[in-house]
Structure 1
Amino acid sequence: MLARIHTDHAHILTLLNLLDRKAGRLERGEEVSLTLIRDVIDYLQRYADNSHHPMEDILYQYYLEKVGETDGTVHRLAQEHETLRIATDQLMDTLNMILNDAVVPRERLITDLKTFAGQQRRHLEQEEKHVLPKLEQELKEDDWQLLQQQVADTLMDDPLFSGGGEREYEDLRAYLSEADDES
């Protein structure tokens, strides 16, 4: 389960880096594919907000009930999932407005993309540096088996990175593959 979380975080970080690059291009006055950016946000809404974060919430609640905590880190990060969901929804609304020909200043989109990516990145870093090591250290094999059963209903296959042949996110998958080939 921890391996899946680490993998999800690496994938999300890849997408946040893509958003940063697109924001940089917008700052330089270059054109970007807003549909591609919308696909990134859609993926984060569908997968991160509806499978990845709920799985983490179950883990965090279990940890808090079993071990407790003194510094509030686990509790705070679990609460951040709602904040991140709201930020994702707001950015999706902005992108949909633009794609439906509403006038949104370029500077607002740039700021929104940078703020969103930074907020997500800080959250991931806190989980990776502070929370996941606590879980790994404190929880035993029996805990993980029980947790696996508890999270089963929240888990879904990753619609972008699972390697399936689904047409969903086809353009984004192709873009990421081309970006890998260039590096």
Structure 2
Amino acid sequence: MHAIEKQLYRDHYHLQRLLEHLDQEVRNYECGMASSVELPLILDTLDYIRFYPERWHHPMEDKIFDRIMAKHPPEAEFVNQVQLEHQQLAQLTRYMTQLFDAVANDCIVPVSELVRTTREFIQRQRSHIDRENELVYPLMEKYLTEADWEELEAEIAVEQDPLFDAPLKADYQNLFMRVVDGNSKGGAQAFQ
């Protein structure tokens, strides 16, 4: 498996861990425990999801998916659908950020809207990851050659994950510690 491919799978694993954290926070809202919700960590989670996937993960996937479609056109309709999901998820992430920014600025946002939107966000992210892992990523092994991977590396350099790769950015240190210490049974080793 090529290093880019490994990074894409690792990104999915990390995102799933963040979605678990977000799911726990929304359960606190549902249970009427809004005072125990860690709003700064929710905002950090959404910031990370907006920043890293949109800057490296999705552009790399899109280049890989374009290459797969060029080599094997019958996969084009399905792969195009997955690429469209990238745009839809980016829009939903922006909307989620606006909602939680409003809460952070003491604006009135109905809990029902926060919970509904967050549940939809988590479900759509998880479905997208599962679809890519199960149906699209295997096409990388099937159709891409070492020459393809070298060309892809030249087009987009592998970027360090600002949350899970060393050196850890101070911006996300609290989020990292919460996800690792608070929700992870595997500890820090699970992320490496």
Question: TM-score, structure 2 length as denominator?
Answer: 0.89
Match of 1:6 in 2: 9
State the 1:98 CA deviation. Answer: 0.8
Counterpart contact for 2:79–2:136, Cα < 8 Å = yes
Residue of structure 1 in register with 2:46 after alignment: 41
Task: Return the letter of the residue paired with 1:96.
Answer: D
Q: State which drifts further: 70-79 or 17-26.
A: 70-79
- Deviations for 1:17-64, whole angstroms, at most 9, x for unmatched residues? 111111112111113111111110000001012211111111111111
Instruction: Report if the CA contact (8 A) 2:69-2:75 is conserved.
Output: no
* Percent of aligned pairs with the same amino acid: 30
Distance 2:93 2:71 in 1: 31
Q: 1:60 is matched with which residue?
A: 65
> Which residue of structure 2 aligns with residue 16 of structure 1?
19
Residue identity opposite 1:115 in structure 2: E
Residue type at the aligned position of 2:170: R
**Residues 1:157 and 1:182: Cα distance change in structure 2 (over 3 Å):** closer
Code of the residue aligned with 2:15 in structure 1: it is I
Give the C-alpha shift of residue 166 in structure 1: 2.3
**Could you report, residue by residue, the CA deviation over 1:130-150 in whole angstroms, capped at 9, with x for unpaired residues?**
000011111111111111112
Q: Aligned AA for 2:92?
A: A
Residue 68 of structure 1, CA deviation: 1.5
Does residue 162 (structure 1) correspond to residue 171 (structure 2)? The answer is no
Partner of 2:135: 130
Could you list the runs of 5+ residues in structure 1 that have no partner in the other structure? none
Q: Distance in 2 between matches of 1:63 and 1:151?
A: 16
**What is the identity, as a one-letter code, of the residue corresponding to 1:87?**
L
Deviates more, 1:160-169 or 1:2-11: 160-169
SS of the equivalent of 1:168 reads helix
Distance 1:71 1:64 in 2: 5
CA distance in 1, matches of 2:72, 2:185: 45
Task: Check conservation: 1:26, 1:106, Cα contact below 8 A.
Answer: yes
Counterpart-to-counterpart distance in 2, 1:20 and 1:79:
24
Q: 1:163 to 1:181 in 2, by over 3 A?
A: farther
Structure 1 counterpart of 2:32, from 29, 33, 55:
29
- Gaps in structure 2 of 5+ consecutive residues: 188-192
Alignment counterpart, residue 146 of structure 2, candidates 134, 141, 146:
141
Q: 157-166 or 68-77, which moves further after superposition?
A: 68-77
> Which residue number corresponds to residue 97 of structure 1?
102
CA distance in 2, matches of 1:164, 1:182: 20
Number of equivalenced pairs = 181
Please say if residues 73 and 130 of structure 1, whose CA atoms lie closer than 8 Å, have aligned partners that are also in contact: no
